[in-house]
Amino acid sequence: MRNNLYQEMKKFWYQKKPLWGILILFILMYYSLVTSHHNERDVIQLFGASQWTLIILVTISSAFMTMEYRDNTIVTMLYKSSNRFNIYFSKIIVLVLYSVLLSFCGVIFTILEAAFSHQLLTVNVLRALLFNTFGTLLYSVFIVTLSLLLISLVKIDAIVIVIGLMLGFLGATFSNILMSLFHTWSRAIRWNPLNMIYVINQLSDPKYFKYSSLSNLELVLGTVSYAIIFLIIGYWTFKKRLV
Amino acid sequence: MLSIKNVSTFIEGKKIIHDVSLHIKPGEIVGLIGPNGAGKTTFMKTILGLTKFTGDISIDEQSVTENNHQALRKVGALIEHPAIYPFLTGRQNLLLYSESNSDLEEIISTLKMEKFIDKKSKDYSLGMKQKLGIGIALLNNPEFVILDEPMNGLDIESTIMIRDVIRKYAEQGCMFLISSHILGELQKVMTQVVLLRSGRIILNRSMSSLNQDSSKKYFVQMDKINLVEDLLNHNNIQNQRVGEYLEIDAQNIDLMQNLVFQNGLYLTRLEPEKLNLEEKIVRILSDKEGSNNEE
Ligand SMILES: Nc1ncnc2c1ncn2[C@@H]1O[C@H](COP(=O)(O)OP(=O)(O)O)[C@@H](O)[C@H]1O
Ligand SMILES: [Mg+2]
């Protein structure tokens, strides 16, 4: 396992993509700043960092798995590892660590941009901002495990990226439509995976409860449970996959 | 010691390898020869525990299964295409799998990769990639190395160099299983030849037994060849006239010589038919088929 983790770390950093990811995050957040109305809300929402982080993560996660099949390196990895779980889990750990880094950069960039645009960082704003970051981080684990599951199932990274983006941008809306259409079922429907995206904003802002219909604790538990389910199914699919 | 007993491999429920057994001892270089689609790659993947199979595979008495690769700790392999990350340099690719780095420089120099090893491997030629792939297989002083069509994309010089490298490792006790769809490619290096066709081993011979004189026909030259021909025909000894020679089966040589001397004639030349490896193998196979048909 230590070997696998070490290899994945190395491969990850030698690729230029992760650094590009951080740069793109900065550029997109800067874009949000110049197009915003300079209010507190933008700061709390980290100038859109959550959404951008998810897009970057889906792209990088799926590429991080498909590259092994493109150049046949999967064969070497498989016979050199004692089992397939180590490979799969190492990839997830590296990607989760990367989401931590992205979140950290998101906070730093937010503080810089707030200072740059002369916005006051009150304790309340900072608190809300950190809750949002924590929510984003939880949802990142959900997205990373989901991306690797989708890659194990459909094998083509372009498709996974499209599905990921649709989930990221339209998932919440779709979930709300479902809940309002099937009102009587909404007690069950609120637990659908698309609804978990509210974990990003609801921790800092209870008003989101009226969309999610789940308490903060339920959202956190739901997100973590889905991540574990995705991990298990994803690993199982990966294990069955021929090389 | 590699021991494969009654192994059958299944891909998507289809049987690709049929009940194959094979043993390799330290220092042996086994050539796995077969046409495209014979199952060479699948067989090699099976040994690496990458497919569903039945039967036994063990390396130094330790079993390889789909879920346990402990026995593969001292195994290196190149399967189909060299497994290389294009965004890494050749050296970084090697370092990824290197355990102690003690043999790294040696591998780079024996495979003559100094010139390009620190460049990004996405710019490598096919031959460079192939060498790097072989280098990865040779890392960490392996006891058993699997090379799937390693000569692909290599020029003559590199082919000769790779052969020397393989021999060098084999002299130190390393076992090799090397595949090719061309017999001649491995003829100079292998110690054992295994022919695979449609997932079955149809021939397994040591090269030394093949190199022993196995001629079945002799060419005989003599004065008064017409007289001898008549004599042989009269005594029902099969022969065939080829220009100034008579072609005679090996088992009839003694009989023919006696007849010739008894009749006051003499031979000017007697020489065995020279067969190349391919012809010998074709003959063994056709004999086998013949005897199978008789059964
Ligand atoms: N992933 C796969 N799915 C289905 N059939 C396969 C797969 N891999 C190999 N085969 C089949 O197994 C047989 C042997 O293939 P292979 O081992 O690649 O042969 P070789 O390496 O000798 O050219 C072929 O008939 C091929 O069609
Ligand atoms: Mg092949």
| Structural domain boundaries in chain B | 2-206, 216-272
pLDDT at A225: 97
pLDDT of res. B237: 87
Give the pLDDT confidence score for residue B44 in this predicted structure. Answer: 97
Which of A142-151, A154-163, B7-16, B127-136 is predicted least confidently? Answer: A154-163
What CA–CA distance (Å, rounded) separates B90 from B226? 70
pLDDT band at A114 (very low <50, low <70, confident <90, very high): confident
Residue A83: strand, helix, or coil:
coil
Question: What is the per-residue pLDDT across A56-89, written as a single tens digit (0 to 9) for each?
Answer: 999 999 999 999 999 899 999 999 988 889 999 9
Q: Do the chains contact at A73 and B84, CB–CB below 8 Å?
A: yes
Strand B29-33 vs strand B192-197: parallel, antiparallel, or unpaired?
Answer: parallel
Per-residue pLDDT of chain B (295 residues; tens, 9 = 90+): 999 999 999 999 899 999 999 999 999 999 999 999 999 999 999 999 999 999 999 999 999 987 777 889 999 999 999 999 999 999 999 999 998 888 999 999 999 999 999 999 999 999 999 999 999 999 999 999 999 999 988 999 999 999 999 999 999 999 999 999 999 899 999 999 999 999 999 999 999 888 776 667 777 777 788 888 888 889 888 888 887 788 888 888 888 888 888 888 878 888 887 788 888 888 888 877 766 654 4
CATH of the domain spanning B216-272: 3.30.70
CA distance A28 to A58: 16
| Ligand 1 mean position, distance from CA B106 (Å) | 35
Check residue B79 and give its pLDDT.
Answer: 96
- Structure confidence at residue B292 (pLDDT): 63
The DSSP element (H or E) to which B218 belongs, if any, is strand B217-222
3-state helix, strand, coil in chain A (%, to 5): 85, 0, 15
Instruction: Answer yes or no: is pLDDT of A168 > 80.
Output: no
Residue B295: what pLDDT?
43
- Interface of A to B at Cβ within 8 Å reads 7, 10-11, 14-16, 67, 71-76, 78-83, 242-243
Which residues in chain A are contacts of B79 at CB distance < 8 A? 72, 75
Query: Vertex B286, ends B284 and B290: CA angle to 5°?
Result: 115
Contact of A47 with A129, CB cutoff 8 Å: no
pTM for this predicted structure: 0.87
- Which of A1-15, A32-46, A112-126 has the least mean pLDDT? A32-46
Average pLDDT for residues A175-204, to the nearest whole number? 85
Task: State residue B157's pLDDT score.
Answer: 93
The confidence score (pLDDT) of residue A2 equals 81
Between A184 and B215, residue with greater pLDDT: A184
State whether residue B118 is helix, strand or coil: coil
A228 within 8 A of A159, measured Cβ to Cβ: no
Residue B52: strand, helix, or coil: strand
Highest mean pLDDT among A160-174, A183-197, B178-192: B178-192
User: Residues within 5 Å of ion ligand 2 by Cβ?
Assistant: B 40-41
Which CATH fold topology does B2-206 show?
Rossmann fold (3.40.50)
CA–centroid distance, B195 to ligand 2, in Å, is: 14
Q: Buried b vs exposed e over A43-67: b needs ≥16 C-beta within 10 Å?
A: bbbbbbbbbbbbbbbbbbbbbbbbb
Ligand 2 midpoint to CA B43 (Å):
9
Q: Which of B12, B50, B85 is nearest residue A11 as measured by Cβ atoms?
A: B85
Q: Pocket around ligand 1: residues whose beta carbon is below 6 Å from it? A: A 242; B 11-12, 16, 34, 36-42
In chain A, domain spans: 2-240
